[in-house]
Structure 1
């Protein structure tokens, strides 16, 4: 197969997706890597119908890669993930609206185009977590304890575009990151960006049936195949606080091979979801099956 990976400069030297590209090449597939932020793109001719079996995106939010992926989708080509699904989670304000409407446990979310409008949020909602709607990698995320603490932050937030604010979910200081790949879920625990603690090492943890069901629901709600979900275990139960398309898959065993198989399966299926039977997540399991769009083959794909 011939695949095109759109890789932003931010991820140029990262293991993901470079290890996936190496794995696919080792299996005999042809992979073209395009760096949207470092190339002159002649958009009227960049999409050649039928030149690639699938296009895969690994870029930062707000980067030009998603425009290219959407152009490929408009030309009728297969994309991983679906371009419309990626847009639905890259905009965190939109993702919150979609998620709450579809029954996902998510915090109340406010959106403002100008930072000073954050002053209108009732004091009863504090502490607040404020971040850019198109943010990624923990950029410009602030825990604001009171309306008075908000004021000095307003100039710093002025250049961040659309902002969202959510009431802080009280937690132990660690996040549960659930990765979905090849029809399985893998859970890791890591230090929250709001509570940096160098002593907390990211590690795989057991995945409860409740969190597994929520993570599987995230894929169905947003139409994602390869994704990550940030979950906080708050006083009212698990709460989804972020969703990422094509995350790092850190701590996932044989991550490069698993992701490579999933990409190939989706390319073969033309990006069309092929739902298997409903999942039966097991409490305290390190990984569980989910209703993935395509199940990865056990053997080496060629």
Structure 2
């Protein structure tokens, strides 16, 4: 099995063992794995003649362009390009989930932050870039002064009603039929904080987390679900997260990749 993985090269001090462990599992089971770095120079897109399966880990513009070309050429993708592209847009993702009955907070999209001032009368907001990632640019806004202090340039922003969580942050990860719930402190101050601790997943929260994959047609993803006054709400989704805190995540991902053999 010939597998290509689109990656970005991380700094040496960034701990990220999941992908190396996944690649090790794939190679131990006979797969030929090519590591491709689209952001480091021109890269010919994989084709069905060169590649049996493409894994889209990097989601930079250059990686998405390579993935788009591969998708149009007919290369099978472990995590489908159209869904990955959709998930880069937080507004489009939220709308898709909402259309399938997944509970999400009240949501707005604006070009001008001033358009959100009247919404503050209903309570605090969380404001975030439409195409942000890793929590960058996410701000809780409680007053008009807080709002006016923000600067996202000319980019559109997304705002959601801030709903005070009933408990700690939960990251829920799905790999095939398996679902894991990792509880974390926020903001994390160490790698151990990012790993969090594995906790039992309440049935209602698991149902919502699985519904996200059903809505988008994927079974590998991460989702942030908060419980507010006993009700679960989806506040973020990633089509290929880091799976930190999931036991033996690299092997589990590798096994799931191998299950896609044509």
TM (norm. structure 1) is 0.79
**What secondary structure is seen at the aligned counterpart in 1 of 2:30?**
coil
SS of residue in 2 equivalent to 1:229: strand
Q: Which one of the candidate residues 133, 143, 146 is aligned to 1:146?
A: 143
Q: Residue in 1 aligned with 2:211?
A: 217
Gaps of 5+ in 2: none
Residue-by-residue CA offset, 1:63-109 (whole Å, 9 max, x unaligned): 32122112111111101211111122221000111111110010111
Structure 2 counterpart SS, 1:55: strand
Long gaps (5+) in structure 1: 270-302
Q: Are 2:223 and 1:229 equivalent residues in the alignment?
A: yes
Write out aligned runs for 1:55-66 (5 A): 55-60=54-59, 62-66=60-64
* Secondary structure at the counterpart of residue 131 of structure 1: strand
Structure 1 CA distance for aligned equivalents of residues 11 and 235 of structure 2: 23
Runs (4+) off by over 6 Å = 197-201
> In the TM superposition, what is the alpha-carbon distance from 1:236 to its structure 2 partner?
4.9
Structure 1: how far apart are the matches of 2:160 and 2:211?
Answer: 21
Q: CA RMSD in A?
A: 2.2
Q: How many residues end up aligned between the 2 structures?
A: 258
| 1:253 equivalenced with 2:260 (yes/no) | no
DSSP 3-state at the match of 1:100: helix
Cα deviation, 1:163-183, whole Å, max 9, x if unaligned, reads 100010111462111110131
Question: Do the aligned partners of residues 10 and 147 (structure 1) sit closer, same or farther apart at CA in structure 2, a change above 3 Å counting?
Answer: farther
**Partner of residue 15, structure 1:** 17
Matching residue of 1:118: 116
Q: Check the 8 A contact 1:182/1:261 in 2, yes or no.
A: no
Q: Deviations over 1:276-295 (max 9, x none)?
A: xxxxxxxxxxxxxxxxxxxx
| SS in structure 1 of the partner of residue 207 of structure 2 | helix
**How do 1:1-302 residues align onto structure 2 when only pairs under 5 Å count?**
1-10=1-10, 14-42=16-44, 46-60=45-59, 62-119=60-117, 121-153=118-150, 156-158=151-153, 161-172=155-166, 174-193=168-187, 202-266=196-260, 268-269=261-262
Summarize deviations over 1:27-81 as a string: whole Å, max 9, x none.
Answer: 2211001111112235xxx333321110001124x43212211211111110121
Rounded Cα–Cα distance in structure 1 between residues aligned with 2:58 and 2:125: 28
Q: Retained in 1: the 8 A contact 2:103–2:234? A: yes
Q: 2:167 and 2:206 mapped to 1: Cα distance?
A: 20
Q: 2:233 aligns to what SS in structure 1?
A: strand
The answer to whether the 8 A contact 1:100-1:106 is kept is: yes
Contact kept in structure 2, 1:55 and 1:78, CA below 8 Å: yes
TM-score of the superposition, structure 2-length normalised?
Answer: 0.90
Cα distance change of structure 1 residues 207 and 110 upon mapping to structure 2, 3 Å threshold = same
Change (3 A) 1:178 1:11: farther
